Structure formats: structure tokens, C-alpha cells
Chain A
């Protein structure tokens, strides 16, 4: 019996093998959304917990295991963002810190983070993945369970809201 079939039947050893195959990929995807390594680790555990709970519903014909996991991971990350709406950690300092004086740079970052926090988690995820991380639209669409056109529409809506919010704050992108 194949690994995925054994997993679908509830085999814990098969699940452990899959975990070790995909844990890094899942973690890397989540950390791009939540931008905090500790939170990403917790959500990786949550993702695999949800995966195991849904083992009986796994259908190999619906796509690869990696794609299915990415979708579960994205949902777990969105759930997290809903409960932690005012938290966007930066991971590390911006690369172009030398371009502006430190105080102005700090103020600008604060305004951008504020604008991002005003977006709904669904739009924020799309902005982070499409504009910051530059992931392919097809991959984002698959992870959200929507079409590429829907991703483009969300990007468009998010950009419009961000530009409006930033303009009100005196930042003109």
C-alpha cells in the first residue's frame, strides 16, 4: 500500500513519514505569512494536527499532498491572524534603512504596518504572499482554494485600500 493510502487509512507511521517529508515546506510557507518563527512553529504543529484529523477526507485525485498541506497551513495562518489582528512582526530590519533618516524610517514602517493591520486577514495574506514574498499567483490561488483571477482581484482591492490608508497618513507610494 502506498504511503498516502496508508495515511488516509489512519496509519500513524505513514503520517510521521509525511510529517518529516513536508514539515520544512509547511513551516517556510507559514513563516512568510505570520512573519514570526515561534508562531510559525506552533502553526506548523496545528497544520499537521488538522491534517491528521482530516486523514479520512484526503483524496489523492484532488492534488498533491504538498498542495493540500499548503491549503491547510494557509487556513491555520488566517485563523491566527484573525485572533492577532494587530501583530505584524517584521522578522528583521528593512534592507534600505540607509535611504532615510532612522526616525523617518521608523515612522514610515509604523505607518505601513498600521495600514497592513487595517486589511482583513484574507487580504493581508494575499498582499504578503503576492507583493512581499512574490509567490506565483497560481500557487497562492491553490493555497487559498480560489482562482488566479480571484487572487488578482484581492491584490487589486488590497492595493487600493493600502494606498488610500497610506495617503491619509501622508505617505504617498
Chain B
């Protein structure tokens, strides 16, 4: 594939999706960021909860693993 072919495709793409020019902010986003920080201060992603639940379940079914884990820590 050569440069002219890439240039042709570039032209075609730009005809369908022109470069973004109007990029001014509609509003101040700081209040949203602040709210997000307050809301999610103690929020954990779902995979963290899944991992926590998995580890808890393992320790419930195999309590003998706890001293072994503590020994390795």
C-alpha cells in the first residue's frame, strides 16, 4: 500500500467525517467532577467486589488457608 492510496482514503474519510472544528465548552464541568468525587469516594468497581466475594467464599469453605496465607504474608 502506497502513500497516494492512503491519501485517497484520507480524503474519503474526511468527506464522511469532517475534522472536528467546533470544540468549545458548553458549560463548566467542575461541579460534575466534584459531585463524582463525592459520590464515588467509597465506590469499588464490580470486579473488586467479585474478587472480595470470591476470597471470602474461599476462606469460609477452607478456613485452614487463613494461617497459611498469613504465614506467606
A residues sitting closer than 8 Å to B (CB atoms) are 12, 16, 19-20, 23-24, 27-28, 31-32, 35, 37, 41, 44-45, 48-49, 52, 88, 90-96, 99, 108-109, 112-113, 116, 127-128, 131-134, 155-156, 159-160, 162-163, 166, 171, 173
- Complex partner residue of A45 from B8, B12, B33, CB under 8 angstroms: B33
Q: How far is the CB of B32 from chain A (nearest CB, A)?
A: 5
Q: How far is the CB of B39 from chain A (nearest CB, A)?
A: 10
- Complex partner residue of B17 from A23, A24, A112, A166, CB under 8 angstroms: A112
Interface residues of B in 11-35 (CB under 8 A from A): 12-20, 22-23, 25-27, 29-30, 32-33
Contact between chains at B25 and A156 (CB < 8 Å):
no
Chosen A-B contacts, 14 in total, with CB atoms closer than 8 Å, are A20-B30, A23-B25, A24-B25, A37-B26, A41-B27, A94-B15, A94-B16, A95-B14, A113-B17, A159-B5, A162-B13, A163-B9, A171-B12, A173-B9
Residue of A nearest to B14 (CB): A132
Contact between chains at B26 and A35 (CB < 8 Å):
no
Known: A19-B33, A32-B19. 10 other contacts (CB 8 A): A12-B37, A23-B30, A52-B33, A52-B37, A96-B15, A108-B16, A113-B17, A156-B1, A159-B1, A173-B5
Residue of B nearest to A89 (CB): B17
Q: How far is the CA of A48 from the CA of B14 in the complex (A)?
A: 30
Interface footprint category on B: 20 to 34
Q: How far is the CA of A20 from the CA of B25 in the complex (A)?
A: 12
Contact between chains at B5 and A28 (CB < 8 Å):
no
User: Known interface pairs A19-B30, A27-B23, A41-B29. Does A90 touch B15 (Cβ–Cβ under 8 Å)?
Assistant: no
Q: How far is the CA of A159 from the CA of B13 in the complex (A)?
A: 11
Contact between chains at B13 and A127 (CB < 8 Å):
yes
Contact between chains at B25 and A27 (CB < 8 Å):
yes
